[in-house]
Amino acid sequence: AQTVTQSQPEMSVQEAETVTLSCTYDTSESDYYLFWYKQPPSRQMILVIRQEAYKQQNATENRFSVNFQKAAKSFSLKISDSQLGDAAMYFCAYRSAGSNYQLIWGAGTKLIIKP
Amino acid sequence: AAGVIQSPRHLIKEKRETATLKCYPIPRHDTVYWYQQGPGQDPQFLISFYEKMQSDKGSIPDRFSAQQFSDYHSELNMSSLELGDSALYFCASSARTSGRADDTQYFGPGTRLTVL
Judged by a CB distance cut-off of 8 A, whether residue B98 touches chain A is no
Q: Which of B33, B58, B110 sits opposite A43 (nearest CB)?
A: B110
Q: Determine the 3-state secondary structure of A114 from DSSP.
A: strand
Q: CA nearest B57: which of B65, B48, B69? A: B48
Which candidate in A91, A101, A103 is best for mutational testing of the B interface (most B CBs within 10 A)? A101
Determine the pLDDT at residue A101: 81
Which residue type, as a one-letter code, is found at position B33? Y
Residue B99 — pLDDT band, cuts 50, 70, 90?
Answer: very low
pLDDT at B2: 82
Residues of B in contact with A33 (CB under 8 A): 104
Nearest CB to B58; choose among A42, A43, A102: A102
Determine the pLDDT at residue B30.
87
> Quick check: B98 pLDDT over 80?
no
Instruction: Find chain B residues with C-beta within 8 A of A90's C-beta.
Output: none
Question: Which of B35, B55, B101 faces A97 most closely, judged by CB atoms?
Answer: B101
Average of per-residue pLDDT across A23-47: 94
Q: Is the CB of B86 inside 8 Å of chain A's CB atoms? A: no
Q: Is residue A51's pLDDT more than 70?
A: yes
Upstream peptide bond of A115 is cis (omega within 30 degrees of 0): no
Q: Which stretch of A22-26, A39-43, B96-100 has the lowest confidence by average pLDDT?
A: B96-100
- CB proximity list for B89: less than 8 A, separation 6 or greater: B6, B21, B34, B35, B36, B37, B76, B110, B111, B112, B113
Neighbouring-strand partners of residue A46: A38
Give mean pLDDT, residues A56-67.
94
Q: What is the pLDDT of residues B13-70, one digit of tens each?
A: 999 999 999 999 999 888 999 999 999 899 999 999 988 899 889 989 999 999 999 9
Q: Do A107 and B42 touch (CB under 8 A)?
A: yes
**A53 closest CA partner among A114, A2, A107:** A2
pLDDT of residue B63: 96
Chain A residue numbers touching B45 (CB-CB < 8 A): 102-104
| Residues within 8 A of B (CB atoms), A 1-30 only | none
Q: Which long-range contacts (CB under 8 A, 24 or more apart) does B62-65 make?
A: none
Cα separation, B1 vs A96, whole angstroms: 27
Partner residue facing B56 (CB), from A43, A50, A102: A102
Ranges assigned E (strand) in chain A: 3-5, 10-14, 19-21, 24-26, 32-39, 46-52, 60-61, 64-69, 74-79, 88-96, 104-105, 109-114
Mutate to test the interface with B, among A89, A102, A103 (most CBs of B within 10 A): A102
Q: What is the mean pLDDT of residues A92-113?
A: 91
Query: What's the CA gap between A76 and A9, in Å, rounded?
Result: 14
Distances in Å between the Cα of B1 and the Cα atoms of A66, A98, B16, B52 are 26, 29, 39, 24
Q: Say which of B42, B43, B103 has its CB closest to residue A101.
A: B103
Task: Report the gap between the CA of A88 and the closest CA in chain B (Å).
Answer: 13
